[in-house]
Amino acid sequence: MRVITAGATSQTVYVEVLDSTSTTGGRKTGLAYNTASLVAYYARNGAAAVAITLVTQTAAGAYSSGGFVEVDATNMPGIYRLDVPNAALAAGAASVVITLKGATGMVQVSIDVQLTVMDFQVATIVASSVTGAVGSVTGAVGSVTGAVGSVTGNVGGNVVGSVASVTGAVGSVTAAVVLSAKDSMNVRNGTAQAGAASTITLDAGASATDNLYNGMTVRLDSGTGAGQARVITGYVGSTKVATVDRAWATNPDSTSVFTVLGTDAPKTNTSLEAVAASVTGAVGSVTGNVGGNVVGSTASVTGAVGSVTGNVGGNVVGSVGSVTGAVGSVTGAVGSVTGNVGGNVVGSVASVTGAVGSVTGAVGSVTGAVGSVTAAVTLNAKDSMNVRNGTAQAGAASTITLDASASATDSLYNGMTVRIDSGTAAGQARVITGYVGATKVATVDRAWSTNPDNTSVFTILGTDAPKTNSSL
């Protein structure tokens, strides 16, 4: 009996043909594919006999369906090679019988071939499905139900259940791949119930605890408003309504799929500058111009400010060591002023409380009381997530070339988030996975939806973020 894997092709069997005239069991020699009256048939389990057309063959020739030849009449007399038709071994039958007969002086010979699902030469199981625990599977698997230790090779069907690891190519994954909580920044995923200009109503299963998600980032992954991210500044557990730090470009709705990321981020204004209600404690220095607006309530700056370099357009309450640059007006006691007072304070100024060591620059006049500071306050680097801002030199499908003054140190920005603030590709953010200091080229974790170019204004945020794939 011979065992062959069902569905195997180009298979050869060897048969012994006895001489009917021998009284000692001698073998029949000299048969050929065209010997008179020599015929061959096969019959699969439960099916009718099928004739095999015999054709010429050599002992070491390549497979040829129906090929028939004596292997060696001198050294192996009566041993013949037969190339079995592929149809005889096709899947769907448990066995097949092959018969040779008819030639003068030969004894009819039959070979019983068992067709199995296992190839014993390579010990590989070929099955439509395997249920239960499997240590490892090498080769193609239709589907596996249950726990699988490891799979080496291609998985062409479906995997249902827990899979420890997959080595090789995976055609597709349908349904969610859930990471362990420790391996992800995700605090919650779901589909929003609704949204408005600066709110999003999380799914019904979200926490019932007020303010639980405050300071975390909510990102819209798909549906209406996809691609946006905002910092949650307020959350009402009973209604599931989260208020965000600035208005959405496109309001989310009941189709918006969101992720809440476990960050502890400052809220930002429309210029993506960090916004704080108050700064308490000593501030060494503010370098640059305070030229925009502070949106929202700024209670106070409490403590001594060593120096301010640039223009202050609003109000300062408390003690100021020195001011370098132009000051519109000062109301209260000033220790000394170095330079020209050249500008004006427009509006009501309540007071400047505390001693001002010096003012360097032009001060036009001090008129009235200073009640508040309205305009943007640019925070010290330690108070912002921004590591670098600039205009890109170029971009490609999964890279961005930073400005010429970016760091010359390889991999310096790895793990940080690069965000396109304006220009081509604005509104996108990616994690930097590689950086070459000599070329300023940063490689990102997944392809841009729109490639950046030399009009793209970027910000690098000092995060230490995991890279993501195209499904985030």
The model's pLDDT over 421-464, given as tens digits with 9 standing for 90+, comes to: 999 999 999 999 999 999 999 999 999 999 999 999 999 998 87
Instruction: Examine the domain organization and report whether 419 and 334 are in the same domain.
Output: no
Please state which of the ranges 202-206, 318-322, 338-342 shows the lowest mean pLDDT.
338-342
pLDDT at residue 295 is higher than 80? no
Side chain identity at residue 47, one-letter code? A
Instruction: Examine the domain organization and report whether 341 and 398 are in the same domain.
Output: no
The candidate with the shortest Cα–Cα distance to 34, out of 55, 58, 60, 61, is 55
Q: Which two tokens stand for residue 148?
A: 């699988």
Query: What domain count does the chain have?
Result: 4
Instruction: Examine the domain organization and report whether 19 and 111 are in the same domain.
Output: yes
DSSP 8-class letter at 408: -
pLDDT at residue 376 is higher than 50? no
User: What is the average per-residue pLDDT within 43-47?
Assistant: 95
- The answer to whether residue 170 is domain-embedded is no
Per-residue model confidence as pLDDT tens digits over 169-212: 666 656 555 555 555 688 999 999 999 999 999 999 999 999 99
Per-residue model confidence as pLDDT tens digits over 377-412: 454 555 568 899 999 999 999 999 999 999 999 999
Instruction: Examine the domain organization and report whether 286 and 220 are in the same domain.
Output: no
Q: Which pLDDT value is given to residue 1?
A: 82
pTM (2 d.p.):
0.32
Q: For a pLDDT cut of 90, what percent of the chain falls above it?
A: 55
In degrees and rounded to multiples of 5, residue 60 shows phi and psi of -115, 15
DSSP 8-class letter at 28: P
Element (H, E) at 80: strand 76-84
The candidate with the shortest Cα–Cα distance to 206, out of 190, 223, 220, 217, is 190
Per-residue model confidence as pLDDT tens digits over 6-42: 999 999 999 999 999 999 999 999 999 999 999 999 9
Give the number of other Cβ atoms within 10 Å of residue 368's Cβ: 14
Pairing of strands 76-84, 11-16: antiparallel
Instruction: Examine the domain organization and report whether 367 and 402 are in the same domain.
Output: no
- The answer to whether residue 143 is domain-embedded is no
Instruction: Examine the domain organization and report whether 361 and 289 are in the same domain.
Output: yes
What are the Cα distances from residue 143, in Å, to 117, 136, 146, 161, 328?
A: 16, 14, 10, 11, 75
Q: Which pLDDT value is given to residue 44?
A: 97
Please state which of the ranges 57-71, 153-167, 286-300, 442-456 shows the lowest mean pLDDT.
286-300
Instruction: Examine the domain organization and report whether 247 and 298 are in the same domain.
Output: no
- The answer to whether residue 151 is domain-embedded is no
- The answer to whether residue 320 is domain-embedded is yes
DSSP 8-class letter at 66: T
Q: Which two tokens stand for residue 121?
A: 């030469």
- The answer to whether residue 294 is domain-embedded is yes
Instruction: Examine the domain organization and report whether 17 and 105 are in the same domain.
Output: yes
The residue written with tokens 């599931």 in the block is 240
Quote the domain boundaries for residue 452: 384-461
Mean pLDDT of the chain: 80
